[in-house]
Structure 1
Amino acid sequence: MTTGSQGTGSVTAGGAWEAAHRRSLEDPDAFWLEAARSISWIRRPTRALDPAANAAEGAVLPRWFRGATLSTAYNCLDRHVVAGRGDQAAVVHHSAYTGERRTLTYAELLDQSARLAGALRALGVDRGDRVLLYLPMVPEAVVAMLACARIGAVHVVVFGGFAAAELAARVDDAQPVVVVTASCGLEPSRVVEYMPLLEAALARAEHAPAHCVVLQRPQVTADLVPGRDLTWAEVLRPGAAPPAECVEVAATDPLYVLHTSGTTGRPKGVVRDHGGHAVALAWSVRHLFGLEAGDVVLTASDVGWVVGHSYIVYGPLLAGCTTVLYEGKPVGTPDAGELWRAVEEHGVAVLFTAPTAVRAVRARDPELALAEGHDRSSLRALYLAGERLDPDTWAWAGEHLGVPVVDNWWQTETGWPIACSPRGLQELPLKPGSPSVPSPGYDVRVLDAAGREVGPGEEGALCLRLPLPPGTLVGVWGGDDGLRASALAAFPGSYVTGDGGSVDEDGYVRVLGRTDDVVNVAGHRFSAGQLEAAVIGHPDVAECAVVGVADALRGQEPRALVVLTTTATAPPQEVAAQVVQRVRDEVGAVASLRRVDVVAALPKTRSGKVLRRTLREIADGLDPAVPSTIEDRSVLEGLRHLLRR
């Protein structure tokens, strides 16, 4: 790869990004009022941020656009139809499992969501009520989210196929009036029946929804409970209920609750509002991702995650784009070339997925041979987020795809990138190992243990100075005490992201991983990301995880688990020895990496994050609770004996 293909280099001071970022911090009111012009308001905001009103209310986090009203559903659908673009594709369903292709135009998506909204209202759902969505990656998931937004209900999306105990916890937390689900979801080697999981969850939960709406899929027909359950076809049949018009809601009203793992082990429901969310996502789609109305975006994630909320559903539709709803995996459905087939078939301009997906593709197709023969000329950039993007994977993807590979860093709580190269604003140079620069509105600081800001290149806790920008969380469903204790108490005036890293002299952020992913060897601290970057640089290593294991002499010693590429020619023992030497050469002998195990797979969450903490605790002889988000429990179980040797 030539350095020019990824545009590496130094930032040019005085550019559009620097001016926008400075203005967003110095005069956030003016900056975000200007950004709000891209949204259709019922009552326009006169101020973006009112610190006095926030203080008077005792808000833990800022509330944006107080006094303004709007409809998120209108902004996603109706206004595009009114503007004459009703025949444009809004959602394209690309099922790698079944081969199905289904397109909903903006007019069709408007019609279906309005009819479902009317049906939900007839079932007793009112403004502010919660509706829990437990759905696979099908267009009906988008219809349901927008139907809730249309009548001012709060949707709570739970990843389809979640275990009953975790689903029950979310039911009790959100207390939904209605649950919308499907008869099943699809996995590469099996069909997952949802209704038995839902029934088990409702049996455990203290709260009982009044009704369940069930999408019957052809693979499985679910048994329904008379009087409680209705089919999707039944509630959407013509004349079943009058279609609902858009309800006017306050900009500060909740749009959705999305649960993420809490530090107490209970699910934490992140609350997103209507106004700030619409403004931030509309701004980010244009300025961070460089997308305009009519462009096609494929975000290979799931609507159960924040990436799915922001950049499968709301962001693209707010901007008038076409969003591809991808039901499948990056590999194995049927092979490692399916994403490139989708790019060609739909004319995808921006592909967004996780680094794990790219590493999985690389492991099975290291020369990207399966991409050959597919027209990828529409593809302008590959965006990667969800975990640390190692420089070697970044370089490999850029070399083989011939487009910029744009790392970006954010989390469920922020809702949109904290740091990202703003390609729609200014095409900044890209640096391997960095998600580039802070997005406007985010004041990123690196603090030491005493809360002091450290210098350029020095490592510490990555924190965000308050106020957080629009589109970030406005609180936690059910109360903010946990948020105060976990993210706001350590450094007053700052939000603690939980990630460690640094900011260099050009303003580029480097994220080294969660602050608990630190290996302490005889007083020397190494981030897991730093060690993993050296490991994965070996040409035969497709994926890796490094964890610190308790050691009586040195406190901890690093241990590496590696997955080999399908083209690896050296025997595993030889690769392991070479990896040990690589770490010694690139990090130093003091890192003391001595143990490298070659494994078939790494345990991950459904969003692609490796379960490093769980691996570490098992290796230390503990019996940790396995996260509910685990993709394949058998992978972890297969490693237990190895980890304890």
Structure 2
Amino acid sequence: MTIFQREKGRGNAPSDQTPVPGAYFRKHPSVPHLCDQNEYRNLYQKSIESPDQFWSSMATACLKWDVLFDTVHHGSFEDGNHGWFLGGKLNACYNCVDRHALDNPDKLAILYERDDPEDVPQRFTYGELLRDVSKLSWVLKDLGVQKGDIVTIYLPNVPEAVVAMLACARIGAVHSVVFAGFSAPSLRGRLDDARSRVIITADQGVRGGKFVPMKNVVEDALADHEGPKLRCLVLRITENPVPWSQRSTDFWWHEECARWPGYCEPVSMGAEDPLYMLYTSGSTGKPKGLMHTTAGYLLSCAVSGKYVLDLHPSDTMFCAGDVGWITGHNYLVYTPLVLGTTTVVFEGTPAYPDYDRFWQILNRCEASHFYAAPTALRMIKKTRPNGSIKPLERLRVIASIGEPLAPSVWQWCYEELGRKEAHVLDTYFQTETACHAFSPLAAVTPTKPGVPFFGFQPAIVEPDSGKEIEGGEGRGLLVFKQPWPGIARTVWGDHARYMKTYFEEHKGYFVTGDSAYRDQDDYYSILGRVDDVVNISGHRLSTAEIESALLDHGAFAEVAVVGVQDQLTGRH
């Protein structure tokens, strides 16, 4: 995922020296989590020089533990055997739901914006979320799901997708969310690789005023499925007829949940127990199922949400990312909920019924934080001339992820969308990192991108030799020099691929696969991928996987997929 990139002939972006907007503090519910740049520098230095002490204090402050850990960290990049907070036990769902529900059950957890803008947003409190998650937890247990089992979730962007993820976490199952836009062959490959015995889907989704087949895609995916018959839990969204399968044992979500009580005891999990796996495109045809663990991932979400986004319990976070991608996992689900914030779940598309949709949601939900890919921001900018956006009274953070945020779009976000009162953050992270690796910090740093976050020690190396380019300006391959808690622990079922992809080419480093430029002030700019992955609207897609799908069609003898620059989507 790519951060700030210079426009040809422009030099530095206008964001380079823009300070924290003074009105940011007027809009603030209390006081920022960080006071100033000196506090950031001191904490960052501590995270690099004394990582055990730093992360121990963060873990005890941000998370609720059943059993406190006795070892902060072991392992290295050389052996690829990372472990954090060993001996500790906790439950991710308890940290995201129960502790807030116990403190204030009527606190708003989810605001659900349906595809149709005429529908009134649906509200879910933390107490209601605890009830719904508990009921589904009982259902999954009744379907035979046990601790460590992988449950595939193939749902649109609806609150039940969040409920399904949290229910898995509650009982110790590992969720594998597959983006609802993926085809049957893509779903089949991920099902087979994960060896899931249970899949959760919907009858249909609704997006852009159209019905989206979900259960039918699952049927097609199971046509050539190898292995035991799956159990399929089906969420009713549209109530249109869908086929009941001979290839799986099907159950209606609402009927099964109605049978169970509204509380299910959370399972105490080891800190290094898997929380979820998420497939990401690689430079070969087969996607990688990256595995994230309970404590390290959850802490990364809490710390980045707290110190990068300056999230507080009174805030409302609208992340426009889909739950099927890492942005949705992080900033639609786990980050806002672990911090007791309200999260907005949007079912639809920014273009339906017109490009005012995002602005309408921001206004109606009184969002304080907006997280979106630059593609979405370009769409709004394209149809909203300067001066035509009414002020958003609570909006104080606008963050982008997934692709370059052009200076012209940054300027529009700052002046028009944020009215020079919101901090614009151009952020960088990967599915592998779990949290921000580079970003300005809301309320603290100037908006120039490329500031490393806690625990990330970046370096630039020569791609061929692996020699580190030390000091001052440099251009080359971006690597990190030491482990951090949220790093993905392995590729599911293929640890050798994990080691080869990230560690073997340049020993002693984590290799991001991105090229980067470091300026004289030690700010980093991401220049692009160095492998066969294209970034389209913030989504990383493997050219090899696209080529493989086209060849499977049978109409093509030879195929080559090449990314081309696109003003709207970044690439196509």
TM-score under structure 2 length normalisation: 0.86
Q: CA deviation at 1:286?
A: 0.8
User: Do the aligned partners of 1:354 and 1:608 also contact (CA within 8 Å) in 2?
Assistant: no
Provide Cα deviations, 1:146-177, integer angstroms capped at 9, x if missing partner. Answer: 00000000000001131011100000111112
Amino acid at match of 1:507: D
CA distance in 1, matches of 2:149, 2:545: 36
Provide Cα deviations, 1:418-438, integer angstroms capped at 9, x if missing partner. Answer: 101122xx611122xxx3301
Question: Which secondary structure state, in structure 2, belongs to the residue aligned with residue 270 of structure 1?
Answer: strand
Matched, 1:17 2:32: no
Matches within 5 A, 1:93-132: 93-97=112-116, 99-100=118-119, 101-132=121-152
CA distance in 1, matches of 2:288, 2:459: 25
Question: Which secondary structure state, in structure 2, belongs to the residue aligned with residue 204 of structure 1?
Answer: coil
Higher relative contact order (Cα pairs below 8 Å, separated by 6+ residues): 2
Question: Which secondary structure state, in structure 2, belongs to the residue aligned with residue 49 of structure 1?
Answer: strand
CA distance in 2, matches of 1:25, 1:352: 28
Instruction: Give the aligned partner of residue 489 of structure 2.
Output: 474
Instruction: Give the aligned partner of residue 31 of structure 1.
Output: 54
Instruction: Give the aligned partner of residue 443 of structure 1.
Output: 457
CA distance in 2, matches of 1:281, 1:495: 20
Matched, 1:430 2:447: yes
Provide Cα deviations, 1:571-604, integer angstroms capped at 9, x if missing partner. Answer: xxxxxxxxxxxxxxxxxxxxxxxxxxxxxxxx97
Compare 113-122 and 225-234 and name the one that shifted more. Answer: 225-234
Instruction: Give the aligned partner of residue 499 of structure 1.
Output: 514
Assess, with a 3 A threshold, how the Cα gap between structure 1 residues 43 and 4 changes in structure 2: closer, same or farther: same
Provide Cα deviations, 1:231-264, integer angstroms capped at 9, x if missing partner. Answer: 0111111x34684210011000000000011222
User: Do the aligned partners of 2:284 and 2:545 also contact (CA within 8 Å) in 1?
Assistant: no
Alignment match of 1:42 (pick from 66, 72, 81): 66
Amino acid at match of 2:19: G
CA distance in 1, matches of 2:513, 2:282: 12
Alignment match of 2:89 (pick from 59, 62, 69): 69
Instruction: Give the aligned partner of residue 367 of structure 1.
Output: 386
Provide Cα deviations, 1:487-544, integer angstroms capped at 9, x if missing partner. Answer: 21121010111111122232211111112599xxxxxxxxxxxxxxxxxxxxxxxxxx
Matched, 1:392 2:328: no
Alignment match of 1:412 (pick from 411, 427, 431): 431
Q: CA deviation at 1:193?
A: 1.0
Matched, 1:349 2:368: yes
Compare 250-259 and 498-507 and name the one that shifted more. Answer: 498-507
Matches within 5 A, 1:245-644: 245-330=265-350, 332-367=351-386, 369=388, 371-372=389-390, 375-401=391-417, 402=419, 403-423=422-442, 427-431=444-448, 435-449=449-463, 450-454=465-469, 455-467=471-483, 469-516=484-531, 605=536, 607=538, 623-624=559-560
Question: Which secondary structure state, in structure 1, belongs to the residue aligned with residue 516 of structure 2?
Answer: strand
Instruction: Give the aligned partner of residue 89 of structure 1.
Output: 108
User: Do the aligned partners of 2:115 and 2:209 also contact (CA within 8 Å) in 1?
Assistant: no
Assess, with a 3 A threshold, how the Cα gap between structure 1 residues 155 and 419 changes in structure 2: closer, same or farther: same
Name stretches of at least 5 consecutive residues in structure 1 with no aligned partner. 519-602, 637-645
Assess, with a 3 A threshold, how the Cα gap between structure 1 residues 61 and 329 changes in structure 2: closer, same or farther: farther
CA distance in 2, matches of 1:123, 1:345: 39
CA distance in 1, matches of 2:90, 2:195: 25
User: Do the aligned partners of 1:408 and 1:421 also contact (CA within 8 Å) in 2?
Assistant: yes
Instruction: Give the aligned partner of residue 540 of structure 1.
Output: none
User: Do the aligned partners of 1:413 and 1:472 also contact (CA within 8 Å) in 2?
Assistant: yes
Matches within 5 A, 1:196-211: 196-211=216-231
CA distance in 2, matches of 1:156, 1:516: 25
User: Do the aligned partners of 2:491 and 2:498 also contact (CA within 8 Å) in 1?
Assistant: yes
CA distance in 2, matches of 1:3, 1:60: 38
CA distance in 2, matches of 1:116, 1:245: 12
Which has the greater radius of gyration? Answer: 1
Compare 203-212 and 293-302 and name the one that shifted more. Answer: 203-212
Instruction: Give the aligned partner of residue 204 of structure 2.
Output: 184
Question: Which secondary structure state, in structure 2, belongs to the residue aligned with residue 482 of structure 1?
Answer: helix
Provide Cα deviations, 1:283-313, integer angstroms capped at 9, x if missing partner. Answer: 1111110011121000001000001001100
Instruction: Give the aligned partner of residue 231 of structure 1.
Output: 252
Provide Cα deviations, 1:1-22, integer angstroms capped at 9, x if missing partner. Answer: 987994289xx99712221111
User: Do the aligned partners of 2:17 and 2:446 also contact (CA within 8 Å) in 1?
Assistant: no
Amino acid at match of 1:232: W
Assess, with a 3 A threshold, how the Cα gap between structure 1 residues 2 and 129 changes in structure 2: closer, same or farther: closer
CA distance in 2, matches of 1:130, 1:362: 41
Question: Which secondary structure state, in structure 2, belongs to the residue aligned with residue 383 of structure 1?
Answer: strand
Question: Which secondary structure state, in structure 1, belongs to the residue aligned with residue 66 of structure 2?
Answer: strand
User: Do the aligned partners of 1:191 and 1:219 also contact (CA within 8 Å) in 2?
Assistant: no
Q: CA deviation at 1:367?
A: 2.5
User: Do the aligned partners of 1:165 and 1:204 also contact (CA within 8 Å) in 2?
Assistant: no
Alignment match of 1:213 (pick from 233, 256, 259): 233
Q: CA deviation at 1:622?
A: 6.8
User: Do the aligned partners of 2:285 and 2:545 also contact (CA within 8 Å) in 1?
Assistant: no
Amino acid at match of 1:329: T
Provide Cα deviations, 1:102-124, integer angstroms capped at 9, x if missing partner. Answer: 11100000000001001100110
Q: CA deviation at 1:186?
A: 2.3
Q: CA deviation at 1:341?
A: 1.4
Name stretches of at least 5 consecutive residues in structure 2 with no aligned partner. 1-12, 22-34, 551-556
CA distance in 1, matches of 2:319, 2:540: 17
User: Do the aligned partners of 2:284 and 2:544 also contact (CA within 8 Å) in 1?
Assistant: no
Provide Cα deviations, 1:328-386, integer angstroms capped at 9, x if missing partner. Answer: 222x21222211211121111110000111112222224362x23xx501000100011
Q: CA deviation at 1:225?
A: 2.9
Compare 241-250 and 400-409 and name the one that shifted more. Answer: 241-250
Assess, with a 3 A threshold, how the Cα gap between structure 1 residues 625 and 201 changes in structure 2: closer, same or farther: farther
User: Do the aligned partners of 2:113 and 2:122 also contact (CA within 8 Å) in 1?
Assistant: yes
Question: Which secondary structure state, in structure 1, belongs to the residue aligned with residue 86 of structure 2?
Answer: coil
Amino acid at match of 2:430: Q
CA distance in 1, matches of 2:36, 2:155: 46
Percent of aligned positions that are identical? 34
Question: How many positions carry a matched residue from both structures?
Answer: 527
Question: Which secondary structure state, in structure 1, belongs to the residue aligned with residue 277 of structure 2?
Answer: strand
Assess, with a 3 A threshold, how the Cα gap between structure 1 residues 407 and 242 changes in structure 2: closer, same or farther: closer
CA distance in 1, matches of 2:362, 2:445: 25
User: Do the aligned partners of 1:119 and 1:242 also contact (CA within 8 Å) in 2?
Assistant: no
Question: Which secondary structure state, in structure 2, belongs to the residue aligned with residue 420 of structure 1?
Answer: coil
Question: Which secondary structure state, in structure 1, belongs to the residue aligned with residue 279 of structure 2?
Answer: strand
CA distance in 2, matches of 1:79, 1:70: 12
